Amino acid sequence: MNYIANIKSIALAGLAASLMTGTAFAADYTLSVNTALATTDPLYKGLEAFRDNVAEASDGALEVRLFPNSQLGPDEDVLEQARAGAPVAVVVDGGRLAVFVNEFGVLGAPYLANGYDGIRKVVTSDMFDEWATTLHNDAGLDVLSFNWWQGERHLLTKKPINGPDDLSGVRMRTPGAPVWTGTIEAMGATPTPMPWGEVYSAISSNVIDGAEAQLPAVVGAKLDEVITNITLTGHINLITGLITSAAWVDSLPENLQTILHEEALKAGDIASYGTRDALASLEQQLKDGGVTVEAIDVTPFKERTAVVYDNLGYGDLRDKLQAIAAQ
């Protein structure tokens, strides 16, 4: 009996010590995921699924921690941390990766594909895998998956927009990547790059006149409080990826590498189909809040933005990717 009592005492003492040092049940590896989106965004629900499913599939060996609202800093800063080998990941669009592998930029080019299903075919194709391999080997960044669809982006303004001429002189926030600024300029506005977290205050203080974004992000950032009009141009079909450190991924046991990539792809589908299913209710929510949401003939915008592909050297690539999306 004394022997059993001693064993219990030793076990309890060990547990207490580990709790005091914060190491009880600690994962062997931890990945911190940064996103500019709010916790209410449908895509964030996919990130929560990714976190939970990775923990289950790895039997707790790998922990994913989520940081919404850019708590870890701007996307570009997190990308640089990942390139340096830090165990961080970030949800980013292809435009931000084009500085490393130029082909990624075409994913944010105007009117490339409609909806999620077509663009998903592109980002799960053999051609895309070649880009991802180059990004891994040459830039030190690993694509966990690139099927995180956030919706089609629209114009957010304080006045009605019926065509390109109505955007003349409009200072419009955009990400800083060339494919984004080139698209907004071709549409007729003046591109004004700035972090997403600054858009609300910039519009309310008239630093900029408007922005462009997908409906879930509009609701998440409460931009309905500072704009009056949403014009459904759908000019960019926003597909994003979960990007992390190649060096960190390569350092993991092979089974954990597989888990990360497989669960990221599954969670991307959860996020993307969740986004698709939420769009109608989000649009109604914005209308109920007093925002005018209007569909227009986007043909003039398609014609004006066709030049973006040629300006960035994506003309041939556009045709190949649109063929893949149409399969």
Confidence band for 136, pLDDT divided at 50, 70 and 90: very high
Contact 239, 94 (CB under 8 A): yes
What CA–CA distance (Å, rounded) separates 157 from 32?
Answer: 34
pLDDT of the residue at 215 = 96
What CA–CA distance (Å, rounded) separates 13 from 121?
Answer: 55
Is residue 24 scored above 60 in pLDDT? no
Strands 229-245 and 62-67: unpaired
Average pLDDT, the chain: 91
Contact 171, 114 (CB under 8 A): no
Is residue 14 scored above 50 in pLDDT? no
What CA–CA distance (Å, rounded) separates 255 from 12?
Answer: 32
What CA–CA distance (Å, rounded) separates 276 from 173?
Answer: 24
Q: What is the pLDDT of residues 41-80, one digit of tens each?
A: 889 999 999 999 999 999 999 999 999 999 999 999 999 9
Strands 190-193 and 29-34: unpaired
What CA–CA distance (Å, rounded) separates 304 from 308?
Answer: 9
* The Cα angle at residue 6 between residues 5 and 7, in degrees rounded to 5: 90
Confidence band for 9, pLDDT divided at 50, 70 and 90: very low
What CA–CA distance (Å, rounded) separates 52 from 24?
Answer: 19
Least confident of 6-15, 30-39, 94-103, 265-274: 6-15
Q: How many CB atoms lie within 10 A of CB 265?
A: 19
pLDDT of the residue at 4 = 39
Confidence band for 25, pLDDT divided at 50, 70 and 90: low
3-state secondary structure of 208: coil
Which residues 6+ apart lie within 8 Å of 86 measured at CB? 245, 248
What CA–CA distance (Å, rounded) separates 221 from 278?
Answer: 16
Token digits for 278?
A: 């939420």
Q: What is the pLDDT of residues 69-98, one digit of tens each?
A: 999 999 999 999 999 999 999 999 999 999
What count of Cα atoms within 13 Å lies in the side-chain half-sphere of residue 314? 27
Is residue 158 scored above 70 in pLDDT? yes
Q: What is the pLDDT of residues 190-202, one digit of tens each?
A: 999 999 999 999 9
3-state secondary structure of 168: coil
29-59 b/e with 16+ CB inside 10 Å = b? bebbbbbbbbeebbbbbbbebbbebbbebbe
| Phi, psi dihedrals of residue 262, rounded to the nearest 5° | -65, -45
pLDDT of the residue at 16 = 33
DSSP 210: B
pTM listed for this prediction = 0.86
Least confident of 109-118, 130-139, 250-259: 109-118
Q: What is the separation, in whole angstroms, between the first and last Cα of the chain? A: 72
What CA–CA distance (Å, rounded) separates 247 from 66?
Answer: 20
What CA–CA distance (Å, rounded) separates 300 from 319?
Answer: 20
What CA–CA distance (Å, rounded) separates 301 from 244?
Answer: 35
Is residue 19 scored above 70 in pLDDT? no
Strands 229-245 and 88-93: antiparallel
Which domains are assigned to the chain?
Answer: 2-325 (3.40.190.170)
Q: What is the pLDDT of residues 270-315, one digit of tens each?
A: 999 999 999 999 999 999 999 999 999 999 999 999 999 999 999 9
Contact 238, 151 (CB under 8 A): yes
Token digits for 175?
A: 């990400």
Distances (CA, A) of 254 to 7, 98, 128: 37, 28, 22
Q: What is the pLDDT of residues 185-242, one digit of tens each?
A: 999 999 999 999 999 999 999 999 999 999 999 999 999 999 999 999 999 999 999 9
Q: What percent of the chain has pLDDT over 90?
A: 87
Which residue in this structure is represented by tokens 């707790």? Answer: 60
Q: What is the CA radius of gyration of the chain?
A: 22
